[in-house]
Amino acid sequence: MKRKLVLMTSALMAISLLAGCGHEHVHNWGKVVYEWSTDYTSCTATRVCKGDENHKEEETVKSVYSVITSATCEVDGKGKYTATFTNTAFEVQVKEETIEAKGHLWGTPTYVWSDDYSSCTATRVCKNDPNHKESETADSAYTEIIPATCDTDGSAVYDVAFENEAFEVQSHEVTLPATGHNWGIPTYTWSNDYSSCTATRVCENDPTHVETETADSAYTEIIPATCDTNGSAVYDVAFENEAFEVQSHEVTLPAIGHEWGTITYTWSDDYSSCTASRVCAHDATHVDTETVNSTYKVVEEAKCEEDGKGKYTATFKNTAFEAQTHEITLPATGHNWGIPTYTWSNDYSSCTATRVCGNNPNHKESETVDSTSIETQASYFVEGSITYTATFTSAAFSTQTYKQKTSDKIPYYGEVPLLSEDGKTLTYGLYPQTNVNDEELLTALNALTTPETNGYYFYENAYYTKLSATPLPYLDFTFDNGTVIENGTNYWFKCEPITWNVLSNNNGEYYILSSVLLDTHCYYSDTNNRVIGGKIIYSNNYEHSDIRSWLNDEFYNSAFALSNSHIQTTTVYNSASTTSPSENPYVCNDTEDKVFLPSYQDYINSNYGFLDSEDYTKTRECKTTDWARARGAYCDCDTDSSYQYNGFYWTRSPYSSGSSPTNDDDVRAWYVDIDGQLNCSDAYYEFNGVRPAISIKIA
């Protein structure tokens, strides 16, 4: 449609031009005719105007050739000629042609024989396409040309003819090796004296072929004749011709009889028997022998230090053997020493060893030596002693030791109550107190992995424990050595005997109070009231307080793990008379305790050595330990203060304003301030120290 529009447009333009030129003829072109050259290398397009045959358009162009499909050996291909005109009125012309198959272009055949020439394979390959092959395997025909003899070679040929005429007939000639002689079994003939032997063999292919050889024999004695038995010998012949086997002929050698040599006599190691023996001179394996048991007789008895004599006699049945005797020396018996006895001097400065001969009691050996001594001082673990050691020069006597006790073991600190000479203080129990800052000791402690049953670590006769510090925040609390205590830092502490102040002594039963604040603990964990047994229990109730439970459980089991046998169960009075004022709505029942806190009244009791009022007083001031500070106890750490390291500490007494309780906020307990003044504070404070008291009995 597009081409028609172009042609119409062109025609209109032509008409316009003609009209403009004064012409009125318009071309009415006929059908275009295309004519190829004979070899298709060019094509001519022609069209003629239907209105005027003299009006003609013609164009000849050269074609372009291209292969569409290549021809193979056996399959045709395709090619085409393409003619493209400049005149747009003429369409592109295409002329296809068939490309004939090329056919195979076979190379020269190759021929391969089988290993035994029974067949041959012919192969040829197409040069156009190496994948195109022709192959044929054919059996060969065998023909003997010259037969082989014993000594000369023959010949034969293998011929192969192929069905494919492209393959030529192939021939392969082979040599037939000489057959060699087919020798018969050799025969052997000995001379009369067996000094030689003749071997002969004949070829079975040709009886005129004969081989013969005569060889001398060699004589060998196989079994020599003995005194009692015949022997044997053999004649052996070996031929140079390897076809002939070695030949042997055996003869008998008659027995020669015995010829006995000199008789020998041999005693057993213990002379309990004797063996007589004689050997035949002809044959050393022929032995005439007899062994008899001997008789023994003591000629002279042996003594401790003098030899004796004994004699063995052997008599043979064979009359050819003579009776034999052998004398022996009986060695001195030696001393039959008994077990040595050892006698120390009265002062153990010497020791005498003695032994007596069991054979003769008049024979004795004795040696006296001075002793050496080593003194061992008494310690917590061993008694005091002196060990005497006596070492003898004679190997017959063993080294003797004697251990003399000089003193009892020193009671381990904290294990046994130790009263001071003035009777004012007493040590008993064990608790962490002093921070360890010796680097060498810290290295040794950090290497410890397993604590003792009491939870502490034991190293070089002392107990230690470690703690991750939780000091009170916002203040720089320090150890006694001035080191600031860091929160969360692990520290080692030495567990030391607890020193107690003696408050009273009633016939060996002591009421004692710790001389320092050993730890810190809240009175009760919060301010809320509780109901127990239908009764309101306030936070300052000592009977149900946290601090009482802690003292009689955790503290008691730790401080007295080594020994608690001296601690008495104490009836702790908790009536209003033990606190202030005398009427107190917060008092609790009396309790039975191993460890307890003193009351308000205890701390104003002058019989116990305290000021008899609530005012400031040195008598009630008490210092905290390194351990208590690391656990969060409050103290005065001002180095210029007269109260340095003094802390607060609880009493067991509830505080009362004198009125009935109205709310939880009014509930408090008495405590001692850093300056010794009695005061009150909320029960949940965790920074107040603990100053425990106990009653112990010392027999």
pLDDT tens per residue, range 612-641: 999 999 999 999 999 999 999 999 988 888
Query: Is residue 673 one of the residues assigned to a domain?
Result: yes
Domain that holds residue 153: 110-176
Inter-residue long-range contacts of 70-76, CB under 8 Å, 24+ positions, other chains counted: 70/99, 71/99, 71/100, 71/101, 71/102, 72/101, 72/102, 72/128, 72/129, 73/101, 73/102, 73/103, 73/104, 73/105, 73/126, 73/128, 73/129, 73/132, 74/101, 74/103, 74/104, 75/101, 76/100, 76/101
Q: What is the pLDDT of residue 20?
A: 39
Distances (CA, A) of 298 to 207, 295, 477: 95, 10, 101
Pair (204, 153) in one structural domain: no
Query: Is residue 375 one of the residues assigned to a domain?
Result: yes
Q: What is the pLDDT of residue 500?
A: 97
Over the stretch 285-338, which tens digit does the pLDDT of each residue have?
889 899 999 999 999 988 888 898 999 999 999 999 999 999 999 898 889 999
Element (H, E) at 179: none
Over the stretch 216-272, which tens digit does the pLDDT of each residue have?
999 998 888 888 889 899 999 999 999 899 999 988 888 888 888 999 999 999 999
High-pLDDT (> 90) share of the chain, %: 68
Pair (587, 650) in one structural domain: yes
Q: Assess whether pLDDT exceeds 90 at residue 2.
A: no
Query: Is residue 10 one of the residues assigned to a domain?
Result: no
The DSSP symbol for 567 reads B
| Rounded mean pLDDT, 103-124 | 92
Query: Is residue 160 a contact partner of residue 138, using CB atoms and an 8 Å limit?
Result: yes
| Rounded mean pLDDT, 120-137 | 91
Q: Assess whether pLDDT exceeds 60 at residue 33.
A: yes
Count of domains observed in the chain: 6
Q: What is the pLDDT of residue 25?
A: 64
Pair (360, 274) in one structural domain: no
Over the stretch 352-392, which tens digit does the pLDDT of each residue have?
999 999 888 889 999 999 999 999 887 666 788 999 999 99
Over the stretch 145-155, which tens digit does the pLDDT of each residue have?
998 888 888 89
Q: Assess whether pLDDT exceeds 70 at residue 193.
A: yes
Between CA 430 and CA 547 the distance in angstroms is: 19
Between CA 117 and CA 521 the distance in angstroms is: 115
Pair (475, 587) in one structural domain: yes
Query: Is residue 17 one of the residues assigned to a domain?
Result: no
Between CA 340 and CA 573 the distance in angstroms is: 72
Q: What is the pLDDT of residue 112?
A: 94
Amino acid at 38: T
Residues in the chain: 699
Q: What is the pLDDT of residue 12?
A: 37
**Domain finish residue from 68, 99, 130:** 99
Between CA 333 and CA 343 the distance in angstroms is: 29
Q: What is the pLDDT of residue 11?
A: 38
Across 200-210, b (16+ Cβ under 10 Å) vs e yields ebbbeeeeeee
Pair (636, 518) in one structural domain: yes
Between CA 434 and CA 625 the distance in angstroms is: 7
Between CA 52 and CA 603 the distance in angstroms is: 155
| Rounded mean pLDDT, 146-175 | 90
| Rounded mean pLDDT, 414-437 | 93
Pair (479, 563) in one structural domain: yes
Between CA 619 and CA 600 the distance in angstroms is: 14
Q: What is the pLDDT of residue 229?
A: 86
Over the stretch 101-111, which tens digit does the pLDDT of each residue have?
888 999 999 99
* This model's pTM is above 0.75: no
Q: Assess whether pLDDT exceeds 60 at residue 583.
A: yes
Over the stretch 439-498, which tens digit does the pLDDT of each residue have?
999 999 999 999 987 889 999 888 999 999 999 988 889 999 999 999 999 999 999 999
Round the average pLDDT of the chain to a whole number and report it: 89
**Domain finish residue from 63, 79, 99:** 99
Most confident of 7-11, 296-300, 534-538, 691-695: 691-695
Which residue, chain included where needed, has tokens 């172009």?
6
| Rounded mean pLDDT, 666-679 | 92
Pair (294, 158) in one structural domain: no
Residue 408 confidence class, pLDDT cut points 50, 70, 90 = confident
Between CA 149 and CA 103 the distance in angstroms is: 55
Pair (499, 607) in one structural domain: yes
Q: What is the pLDDT of residue 562?
A: 87
High-pLDDT (> 70) share of the chain, %: 94
Query: Is residue 12 one of the residues assigned to a domain?
Result: no
Query: Is residue 1 one of the residues assigned to a domain?
Result: no
| Rounded mean pLDDT, 79-89 | 93
| Rounded mean pLDDT, 645-651 | 96
Q: Assess whether pLDDT exceeds 60 at residue 696.
A: yes
| Rounded mean pLDDT, 112-141 | 92
Pair (601, 659) in one structural domain: yes
Pair (62, 211) in one structural domain: no
Q: What is the pLDDT of residue 466?
A: 96
Q: In a 10 Å sphere around its CB, with 0-12 CB exposed, 13-18 middle and 19+ buried, how is residue 669 labelled?
A: buried
Q: What is the pLDDT of residue 381?
A: 60
Between CA 173 and CA 187 the distance in angstroms is: 41
Q: What is the pLDDT of residue 504?
A: 96
Pair (400, 276) in one structural domain: no
Between CA 389 and CA 348 the distance in angstroms is: 9
Between CA 371 and CA 387 the distance in angstroms is: 10
Query: Is residue 2 one of the residues assigned to a domain?
Result: no
Query: Is residue 135 one of the residues assigned to a domain?
Result: yes
Pair (593, 679) in one structural domain: yes
**Domain finish residue from 374, 407, 440:** 407
